[in-house]
Amino acid sequence: MEYQGVSTVKDRRYQWRFGPVVIASLLLALLRPGLARLIGDRPSFDLLFSLLIVTVLVLLLDQRRHRKTATALGVFALVFIWLGHVFDGRTGTVIFLLGTAIHLVFLGYALYRILNSIMQSRTTANALSGAVCGYLLLGIIWGDAYMAVEIIEPGSFHAVESFGDAIGNPKENPGVYEYFSFVTLTTLGYGDISPASETARNLAWIEAMTGQLYLAIFIAGLVGQHLAERRLEQSDS
């Protein structure tokens, strides 16, 4: 009986293992504006982004074979988030760029592991929540990429006057680039922020195409497979 109870707890934990990452991703968007009024845009973003890094790291630690790689990348990602607050000027910019590169590698690695585990498992509600988790990580990854582009090539983005100088200062206003990323990923295209350089334009259309293909092929395929498996189970019973 005790073994069965432990097994049930593990099964439930596994069933909702993508939930914390999804929640942390949504909190990054929902809580940041209010928190920014209290402690500033960059500290609020970094605090919530750190929470996201921790939840992704905990998710990856479930896979024993990849614990060392996940731990190393996750710890470096967290260190560079807050190390950027220590240094100013050129040194601070270099550290910010290095941190952004590490975030891209860590989240890209996490996205690969998530999608790989979904493809190798049976299509369940857990797999569908993992697909949603992957979609949110896609938007966050591209947001980091846009910040790096603006730092390396200033003036890569234009924005309407209501954004002020936020679009030209990614170190202090990272949330603006996450916003642009998700607007592009979902092909909303409000037009309040637009890519100006060739690098930014290329990244934007690739992200828009990736987002549509992800929804149309990957998530739609999982949903269709899930429904087909349920019908098969019902017919067998």
pLDDT in tens, 188-202: 888 899 999 999 999
pLDDT in tens, 91-100: 888 999 999 9
Confidence of residue 46 (pLDDT cuts 50, 70, 90): very high
What is the residue extent of each domain of the chain? 12-236
The pLDDT > 70 percentage for the chain reads 87
In three-state secondary structure terms, 195 is strand
What residue type is 205 in one-letter code?
A: W
pLDDT in tens, 155-185: 999 999 888 788 888 888 888 999 999 999 9
Higher pLDDT residue, 51 or 224?
A: 51
The pair of three-digit structure tokens given for residue 19, joined into one six-digit string: 């939930």
- Cβ-based neighbours of 234, under 8 Å, separated by 6 or more: none
**Location of structure tokens 């730092």:** 151
Confidence of residue 3 (pLDDT cuts 50, 70, 90): very low
The pair of three-digit structure tokens given for residue 187, joined into one six-digit string: 């092909």
Distances (CA, A) of 148 to 109, 171, 177: 18, 9, 10
pLDDT of residue 45: 92
Task: Tell me: pLDDT of 143 over 70.
Answer: yes
pLDDT of residue 24: 94
Task: Tell me: pLDDT of 133 over 60.
Answer: yes
pLDDT of residue 6: 37
- The helix, strand and coil proportions of the chain, stated in percent and rounded to the nearest 5, come to 80, 5, 15
Asked if CATH classification 1.20.1300.10 holds for the domain at 12-236, the reply, yes or no, is: no
The pair of three-digit structure tokens given for residue 113, joined into one six-digit string: 């592991």
- Please state, as a whole number, how many other Cβ atoms lie within 10 Å of the Cβ of residue 107: 20
pLDDT of residue 63: 73
pLDDT in tens, 201-224: 999 999 999 999 888 888 777 777
pLDDT in tens, 61-113: 877 778 899 999 999 999 999 988 888 888 888 999 999 999 999 999 999 99
pLDDT of residue 61: 87
